[in-house]
């Protein structure tokens, strides 16, 4: 009687922690259904990865996004797509696991598909999924504030942000930024435009790091906003005659911070050009990942596991 009372009280308070106990079969089935979504639309994979970062930015991963915050632009549609599967009575995933767990599985599936796109036989980043995340009572939406990193953060501020929010050291921050090897930026969402890795936005690989160390690439700053509201980002151009000066990708100032100490002003313009800026202490790790995808995968698995285990 007493335990029934406690369970009822817990349920009323939204403490649904004990309500879910997904089996391995549930987890596999959820990943399969999410995989089908990505098969049908490859652009969803990177969006699932971005979603989990934005979910876990608050104190824990709780299946809740504040749609009033512009940093979350574009995520409502992503959540609706996932919800069509999560709440589908054919699968009943919403009775087997929290929405936060389901979103984490979506991000892991996105990485798996991205590895497959690069090299199907490759070992994967070792990500340890343990269910048990608890959704906020109003999931998938919340009015709670959240503080996001922004692309014009000065190097010290950026590394401090990741230390304060996730307890990541500078190397771990350099590793987690490799997530940008997937996906693209869209003007309507963030003001930024383009794909980080021009030829591989759906491949989860070391290409992001290669872009930063390849000596034949020329990086220049471009304002893709307006004079009144500048949005500074970096554009990569090939310089070898064989490559015809083609575009090779983009970086946000925060991406460049992991290899060069940008001297950023308040709107994200750096007073030093790429090669003239001092090398950042984390450049050693960037070079290591360029040399070894395996090293990147190993470290990414560990740091991503840390990110998704904020329960
Ligand atoms: C300093 C830190 C970061 C900044 C400033 C930042 C900023 C951004 C911006 C501006 C976009 C473009 C969004 C759009 O226009 O739709 C984006 C996309 C993305 N971000 Fe980040 N990000 C950061 C860290 C991270 C981390 C830690 C992850 C994952 C763990 C991540 C994963 C992604 C992914 C996968 C995309 C591509 C989404 C798509 O293709 O729709 N980001 N990020």
Q: If pLDDT is split at 50, 70 and 90, which confidence band does 8 have?
A: very low
Q: Report the range of poorest mean pLDDT among 71-75, 240-244, 261-265.
A: 240-244
CATH code of the domain made up of 155-299: 1.10.420.10
From 1, 134, 7, 145, select the one nearest 69 (Cα to Cα). Answer: 145
Q: How far is CA 302 from each of CA 2, 18, 184, 299, rounded to the nearest angstrom? A: 41, 27, 24, 5
pLDDT at 18: 52
More confident residue, 293 or 242: 293
When mean pLDDT is compared across 11-25, 50-64, 161-175, 224-238, the lowest value belongs to 11-25
> Rounded to an integer, what distance in angstroms lies between the CA atom of residue 56 and that of residue 252?
21
The CATH number assigned to the domain with range 2-118 reads: 1.10.520
The percentage of residues in the chain with a pLDDT greater than 70, rounded to a whole number, is: 94
The tens digit of pLDDT for each residue in 161-196 reads: 999 999 999 999 999 999 999 999 999 999 999 999
> Quick one: average pLDDT of 233-243?
90
Determine the atom of ligand 1 nearest the C-alpha atom of 110: 35
Pairing of strands 247-251, 217-223: unpaired
The predicted pLDDT at position 1 comes to 40
Q: If pLDDT is split at 50, 70 and 90, which confidence band does 9 have?
A: very low
Through-space distance between the first and last CA atoms of the chain, rounded to whole angstroms: 29
Atom of ligand 1 nearest to the CA of 46: 35
Spell out the domain ranges in the chain. 2-118, 155-299
Ligand 1 mean position, distance from CA 50 (Å): 6
Atom of ligand 1 nearest to the CA of 186: 15
Ligand 1 neighbours, Cβ below 6 Å, are 46-47, 49-50, 53, 74, 149-151, 158, 176, 179-180, 182-186, 189-190, 192, 252, 254
Q: What is the pLDDT of residues 266-304, one digit of tens each?
A: 999 999 999 999 999 999 999 999 999 999 999 999 999
From residue 190, alpha-carbon distances to 115, 172, 202, 212 in Å are 26, 25, 20, 22
Backbone angles phi, psi at 81, to 5 degrees: -60, -45
Average pLDDT of every residue of the chain = 93
Calculate how far, in angstroms, residue 95's C-alpha sits from the geometric centre of ligand 1: 30
Residue 5 pLDDT exceeds 80 = no
Are 114 and 202 spatial neighbours (Cβ–Cβ below 8 Å)? Answer: yes
What pLDDT, on the 0 to 100 scale, is given for residue 103? Answer: 98
Identical fold between 2-118 and 155-299: no
pTM of the predicted structure, to 2 decimals: 0.94
pLDDT digits (tens, 9 = 90+) for 99-139: 999 999 999 999 999 999 888 888 899 999 999 999 999 99
Residue 217: strand, helix, or coil: strand
* Angle value at C-alpha 78, between 17 and 251, nearest 5 degrees: 110
Please spell the DSSP secondary structure of 1-55, one letter per residue: -HHHHHHHHHHHTT--GGG----HHHHHHHHHHHHHHHHH-TTHHHHHHHHHHHH
What region, left, alpha or beta, does residue 203 occupy, with left being phi > 0 and alpha being psi -120 to 50 degrees?
A: beta
Decide if pLDDT at 4 tops 70.
no
How far is 181 from 201, CA to CA, in rounded Å? 6
Averaged pLDDT for residues 33-40: 98
């Amino acid at each position: 009687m007493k335990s029934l009372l406690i369970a009822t009280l817990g349920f009323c308070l939204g403490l649904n922690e004990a309500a879910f106990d997904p089996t391995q079969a549930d987890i596999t089935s959820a990943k399969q259904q999410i995989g089908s979504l990505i098969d049908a639309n490859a652009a969803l994979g990177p969006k699932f990865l971005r979603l989990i970062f934005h979910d876990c930015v608050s104190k824990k991963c709780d299946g809740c996004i504040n749609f009033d915050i512009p940093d979350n632009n574009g995520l409502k549609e992503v959540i609706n797509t996932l919800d069509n599967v999560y709440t589908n009575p054919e699968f009943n995933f919403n009775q087997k696991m929290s929405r936060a767990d389901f979103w984490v599985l979506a991000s892991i599936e996105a990485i798996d598909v991205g590895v497959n796109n690069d090299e199907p036989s490759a070992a994967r980043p070792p990500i340890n999924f343990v269910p048990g995340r608890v959704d906020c009572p109003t999931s998938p939406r919340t009015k709670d504030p959240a503080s996001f990193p922004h692309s014009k953060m000065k190097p010290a501020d950026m590394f401090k942000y990741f230390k304060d929010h996730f307890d990541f050291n500078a190397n771990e921050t350099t590793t987690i930024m490799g997530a940008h090897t997937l996906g693209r930026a869209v003007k309507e969402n963030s003001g930024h435009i383009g794909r980080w890795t021009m030829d591989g936005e759906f491949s989860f690989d070391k290409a992001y790091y290669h872009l930063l160390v390849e000596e034949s690439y020329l990086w220049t700053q471009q304002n893709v906003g307006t004079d009144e509201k500048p949005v500074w980002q970096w554009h990569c151009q090939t310089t070898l005659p064989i490559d015809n000066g083609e575009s090779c990708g983009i970086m946000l100032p925060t991406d460049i911070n992991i290899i060069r100490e940008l001297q950023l002003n308040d709107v994200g313009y750096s007073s030093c050009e790429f090669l003239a800026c001092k090398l950042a202490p984390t450049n050693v790790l960037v070079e290591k990942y360029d040399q070894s995808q395996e090293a990147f995968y190993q470290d990414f698995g560990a740091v991503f596991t840390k990110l998704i285990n904020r329960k």
